[in-house]
Structures are given as structure tokens and as C-alpha cells.
Amino acid sequence: MKLVRFGHIGEERPGIVDANGTVRDLTGIVPDIAGNTLSDAGLEVIRQTDLSTLPSVPESTRLGPCINGTGKFICIGLNYSDHAAETGMDVPSEPIIFMKATSAICGPDDPIIIPKGSVKTDWEVELAVIVGARAKYVTEADAMSYVAGYAVTNDVSERAFQTERSGQWTKGKSCDNFGQIGPWLVTRDEVDDPQDLPMWLTVNGETMQNGSTATMVFGVAHLVSYLSQFMTLHPGDVISTGTPPGVGMGQSPQRYLKPGDRVELSIDGLGVQRQEAIADPEGV
């Protein structure tokens, strides 16, 4: 299933994409794409619904982030061997974990807001894993049963804030609209192998990233199990699993976003995001 949330910012309602590509309104079937809806039982309620009986949503309707109620937005650094090489850093022996503020989450086509004082706003196409059930001390063998599904995310990063302003990476990752998620949450049963998904990102039509989840250092099952040893994962938590090479920081010379730039990104089977970079209207 391809689950969505649609409507104005802060007023999104649950929906689903039918076989013809039409968004159908799930209001009244489930309260939201969040919490217990993400469990196997909750998803089965949707799966048993006759979608033809549900109201259709106009094509022009905004899509919001495909999940709600995210308590943790967990990111994995340097998790692609070829991306680690372009940054000049060693492949880590264990997953590098950092957090992105949940206030960064926005819809898949919402703008990339370049924050006040930014000189190095960068792009990163990533596979997002959406947790569907409480997970604590789970084994790698059982880890996939705790996954509700997958989505595209743009782990937008301000590199100067991230690496030149001391402290941890969080402040370079957490600005408003630095976490587009969607357009869809694709349930795990529709993704045969999350470790074999082509992915790409363009800036103004030029291909910058063209990779595959096959080059991830630590796969989805390992990450879910690993994280659950340190913190309890809850339904709606997001694990952003790292990016392939081609980020602005890795270009020669380095290249970063400026107002008016247009970014498109996709992962095979998970949909396409389209964003325009804009200056922060509150930063003038």
C-alpha cells in the first residue's frame, strides 16, 4: 500500500493511493497515518477496505509528510561506502547516530528553506525506514517485523552549521523544512529488498546523486536491531539511513543550494519529491 497524508499544513488527513494513482480519503477508516495505524493489525484494517467506496482527493491537493506523531528522527551518518570515500572519511565500524529535530519534518514538495546565515545548504537523498511497532532489544533476524514501511527523505544539511560551528551535527540538520518525507509510506510488503533500491537526485535538472541502497554499510535490519539496543523505538519513529555520493560538499568545487534552485529526488518504487529552495522569509 501507498499511504499518504494530504491537506494544508497542520491539517493533514490520512489517505491511500489506489491502483489508478488516485488518492483516496481514509478519514473515518483510521485516525491518521500514525501510532497504532502503523502496526500490522492497523495496516490490515486499511488493506481490507474497499477503496472504491472512499472519496477521491483532487490532484492539486498538497501532500504532507506521509507519517505523523514522529517522536524520534534518527539519522545514520556515513552509511554508504562510496559517500564516505567522497568526504575523505573512514567507513565507520559501527553506525554513526545523530538526531534531526522533528520540527524539520515537512511535506515531500514543500520548499527547502535556506536558513538565515547559511552558506552551505546541501542535499541528501535517503531511504527512510518508518517504525511500525515498539522495538526494544530486537534481534536482527526479527527486526524487519518492526518496520511499517519505507519513504523517500531529503536529509537537507547546512554544512557550515554542521561541521564548522563546534559541537554535534544536530544543528546543521534540524533547520525548518530540512526533512521532507514522502510522498508515500510504502508498506514493507511492497518492497522486495530494501537493500537493492536505485536512488537519484537532481539539482536544476542536473544529476548529482545516482546510487543504490546496495552500497549501504549497515542494512535496514541491522540498523533497527542496533538502534533498539540503545533506545526504544516507537511507531512513527523515522530512521534515515544515509546517502550515496554526489552531495554538494563532495563536489569539486563544492556546490550548495541558493534561492531558486530546484531539487528532485526519488527512490525506486517510493515516489518522487520536487522542491524549490527559498530564503527563509523570517530571516530577513
pLDDT tens digit at each of 284 positions of the chain: 999 999 999 999 999 999 999 999 999 999 999 999 999 999 999 999 999 999 999 999 999 999 999 999 999 998 987 777 776 777 889 999 999 999 999 999 999 999 999 999 999 999 999 999 999 999 999 999 999 999 999 999 999 898 788 777 888 999 999 999 999 999 999 999 999 999 999 999 999 999 999 999 999 999 999 999 999 999 999 999 999 999 999 999 999 999 999 999 999 999 999 999 999 999 87
Label each residue of 241-276 as H, E or C: CCCCCCCHHHCCCCCCCCCCCEEEEEECCCCEEEEE
Domains of the chain: residue spans and CATH: 69-279 (3.90.850.10)
| Prediction pTM value | 0.95
- Enumerate the H helices of the chain as residue ranges: 40-47, 81-87, 159-163, 220-228
Look at the alpha carbons of 10, 62, 4, 156 in this order and tell me if their dihedral is positive or negative. negative
Give yes or no for a contact between 149 and 178, defined as CB atoms under 8 angstroms apart: no
